[in-house]
Amino acid sequence: MAVQVSIPTILRSYTDGAKSVEGSGETLAALITDLDTRHPGIGDRLLDEGKLRRFVNVYKNDEDVRFLGGLDTELADGDNVTVLPAVAGGMS
């Protein structure tokens, strides 16, 4: 089972510059653990004391995981996960 994860510029130092990497896991938490084995250190940048960092947004197939079950969000083969820094939005 494979999940495609897009990585923001700021974290590409952990992925040898790759914009998108593969990972696996039944849940988002498991995926992050897997990513951290493949790209040591990346987990710490996403999590703080076992929770998603406040200024890190993670989307499963474009939907914010905070509304899907957070770190317990279930993942399936072929899902796309996007990690983005929180920014002040547009239209303002």
Partner 1 sequence: MRYDSLLDSLGHTPLVGLPKLSPSGDVRIWAKLEDRNPTGSIKDRPALAMVEEAERDGRLRPGCTILEPTSGNTGIALAMAAKLKGYKLICVMPENTSAERRQLLRMWGAEIVPSPAAGGSNEAVRVAKGLAEQNPDWVLLYQYGNPANAGAHYHGTGPEILADLPTITHFVAGLGTTGTLMGVGRYLREKVPGIEIVAAEPRYDDLIYGLRNLDEGFVPEIYDESVLTTRYSVASADALRRTRELLTTEGIFAGISTGCALHAAIGIATKVHKAGGTADIAFVVADGGWKYLSTGAYEGTLDEAEDRLSGQLWA
Contacts with partner 1, residue ranges (CB under 8 A):
8-11, 19, 45, 53-57, 59, 62-64, 66-68, 82, 84-92
Nearer to partner 1, 2 or 10 (CB): 10
Residues 70, 71, 72, 78, Cα dihedral to 10°: 100
- Minimum Å gap between C-beta 6 and partner 1 is 10
Task: Say which residues have a Cβ less than 8 Å from residue 37's Cβ, sequence separation at least 6.
Answer: none
* Shortest spacing between CB 50 and partner 1, in angstroms: 17
3-class secondary-structure state, position 18 = coil
Residue closer to partner 1, measured from CB, 30 or 68: 68
Asked whether the beta carbons of 64 and 70 are under 8 A apart, the reply is no
